[in-house]
Structure 1
Amino acid sequence: MPAPVLHLGATVLCSHAGQATPLSPVPRVLLSGQPAVTLASPYAVAGCALTGSPNPPCATGQWLAGAVRVMAMGVPLATMAGQSTCVPTGTPMLPVAAQTRVLAT
């Protein structure tokens, strides 16, 4: 099923409402004027609210599955319907808002 492709300005949160930001988007492919994000780009998580428990808060995130047919620089694009995980908690990242003009399957 087609889903919006993620870009640098997309709002992505960890499961505990921490802001996730891609560290290496693809500058050669622009979506709404911002670099696209591929599965190879790790995410840095800031402000994870899992600080009051004995478990450490989310520090990084990674998309595990995304577009199957659409790639940038030979790497599949990250989509809002893709699967992701945060380290060290193992919880998913949650895409909240992204550009809506480009969809990928």
Structure 2
Amino acid sequence: MPGSLLDTSASVLCTHGGQASATMPSPRVQVGGNPITTTSAPHSVSGCPFNAGGSPMPCVVAQWTVGAVRVKSMGAPVLLQDSQATCAPNGTPVTVSVTQARVKGV
């Protein structure tokens, strides 16, 4: 399905509400002045409050597993609004809540 490309201004959250940020955006492609992101680099997660059985186990990093099928930047699939990632160390997914709406990819 086509979806909006994720750039560095996108709001990506872990399941518990921690904010995920791109660690290495693609410098070659920009949307609205912001670099886009690809599956090649994980997002770092900060502010995750997850606590399992009285022991803190916050999300630290989100590794992308599904990106665009037909659009790549520097050889890596770009991230779309419906791309999927898994957080480490607890294996929960992320949610893309806000992204730019001008450029779409497949």
Q: Distance in 2 between matches of 1:56 and 1:49?
A: 8
What do residues 74-100 of structure 1 show as CA deviations (whole Å, max 9, x unaligned)?
110011111110001101111000000
| 1:3 equivalent in structure 2 | 3
Structure having the larger proportion of residues in strand: 2
What do residues 56-82 of structure 1 show as CA deviations (whole Å, max 9, x unaligned)?
110000110010000001110011111
Does 1:83 pair with 2:84?
yes
Does 1:44 pair with 2:83?
no
Aligned counterparts, 1:34-73, within 5 A:
34-51=34-51, 53=53, 54=55, 56-73=57-74
**Is 3-12 or 45-54 further displaced after alignment?**
45-54
**Is 89-98 or 54-63 further displaced after alignment?**
54-63
| Length-normalised TM-score, structure 2 | 0.94
Q: Does the CA-based 8 Å contact 1:62-1:86 persist in structure 2?
A: yes
Q: Distance in 1 between matches of 2:57 and 2:83?
A: 25
Is there any run of 5+ residues in structure 1 with no aligned partner, and where?
Answer: none
RMSD of Structure 2 on Structure 1 (CA): 1.2
| Length-normalised TM-score, structure 1 | 0.94
Q: Distance in 2 between matches of 1:68 and 1:40?
A: 14
Does 1:24 pair with 2:34?
no
Q: Does the CA-based 8 Å contact 1:79-1:104 persist in structure 2?
A: yes
Is there any run of 5+ residues in structure 2 with no aligned partner, and where?
Answer: none
Q: Distance in 2 between matches of 1:75 and 1:44?
A: 18
